[in-house]
Amino acid sequence: MNRFVMAAVAALLSVGVAHAEVTEQDLANDATSTDNVLTNGMGRGLQRYSPLETLNKTNVKNLIPAWAFSLGGEKQRGQETQPLVYDGVMYVTGSYSRLWAIDLKTGKELWQFDARLPEGILPCCDVINRGGAIYGNNIYFGTLDARIVALDLKTGDVKWNKKIAEYKEGYSYTAAPLIVDGLVITGNSGGEFGIVGEVQARNAETGEIVWTRPTIEGNMGTLNGKESTMTGTLNATWPGDMWKTGGGATWLGGSYDADTDTLIFGAGNPSPWNSHLRNAGTPTEGNKGDNLYAASRLGIDPKTGEIKWHYQTTPREGWDFDGVNEVVPFVDKDGNKRFGTADRNGFFYVLNREDGAFVHATPFVKNITWAKEIGKDGRPVYNEDNRPGDPAKAADGEKGQQIFAVPSFLGGKNWMPMSYSQKTGLFYVPSNEWGMDIWNEPITYKKGAAYLGAGFTIKPLFEDYIGSMKAIDPNTGDIKWEYKNPSPLWGGTMNTAGGLVFFGTPEGEFKALDAESGEELWSFQTGSGIVGQPITWEQDGEQYVSVVSGWGGAVPLWGGEVAKKVNYLNQGGMVWTFKLPKAMASN
Query: Tens of pLDDT along 497-508?
Result: 999 999 999 999
Is residue 310 predicted with pLDDT exceeding 70?
Answer: yes
pLDDT of residue 8: 39
- What is the rounded CA–CA span in Å between residue 82 and residue 537? 13
pLDDT band at residue 114 using 50, 70 and 90 as cut-offs: very high
pLDDT tens readout for residues 152-205? 999 999 999 999 999 999 999 999 999 999 999 999 999 899 999 999 999 999
C-alpha distance from residue 272 to each of 413, 553, 581 (Å): 21, 22, 53
pLDDT at 10 > cutoff 70: no
Res 6: pLDDT: 39
| Strand boundaries in 491-569, DSSP class E | 494-496, 500-504, 509-514, 520-525, 535-539, 542-549
Q: What is the pLDDT of residue 582?
A: 86
Per-residue pLDDT tens over the stretch 537-552: 999 999 999 999 999 8
* Cβ atoms of residues 437 and 456 within 8 Å: yes
Beta strands in 13-96 (DSSP E): 49-50, 64-70, 84-86, 89-94
Q: Rounded CA gap, 394 and 402, in Å?
A: 11
| Lowest-confidence segment of 113-127, 318-332, 418-432 by average pLDDT | 113-127
- Based on the number of CB atoms within 10 Å of its own CB, is 72 exposed (0-12), middle (13-18) or buried (19 or more)? middle
> Among the listed ranges 33-37, 214-218, 389-393, 483-487, which one has the minimum average pLDDT value?
389-393
Say how far apart CA 124 and CA 55 lie, in whole Å. Answer: 38
Indicate the average pLDDT of the chain: 93
Report the share of the chain in percent with pLDDT over 90: 84
Asked whether the predicted pLDDT for residue 12 surpasses 50, the reply is no
Say if CB 419 and CB 426 are below 8 A apart: no
| CA–CA dist 92, 123 (Å, integer) | 20
Between 127 and 468, whose confidence is greater? 468
Catalytic residues, by residue number, are 320
pTM of the entire predicted model: 0.94
- Structure confidence at residue 17 as a pLDDT band (50, 70, 90): very low
494 Cβ partners below 8 Å, 6+ apart? 42, 48, 49, 50, 419, 501, 502, 503, 533, 534, 535, 536
570 compared with 295, residue with greater pLDDT:
295
The stretch 261-274 carries a mean pLDDT of 97
State in Å, rounded, how far the first CA of the chain is from the last one: 47
**Is-contact 238 278, C-beta < 8 A?**
yes
> pLDDT grade, residue 559 (50/70/90)?
confident
Cα R_g (the chain), whole angstroms = 23
- Residue count of the chain: 587
Q: How far is CA 65 from the centre of its chain?
A: 27
- Provide mean pLDDT across the span 292-306: 98
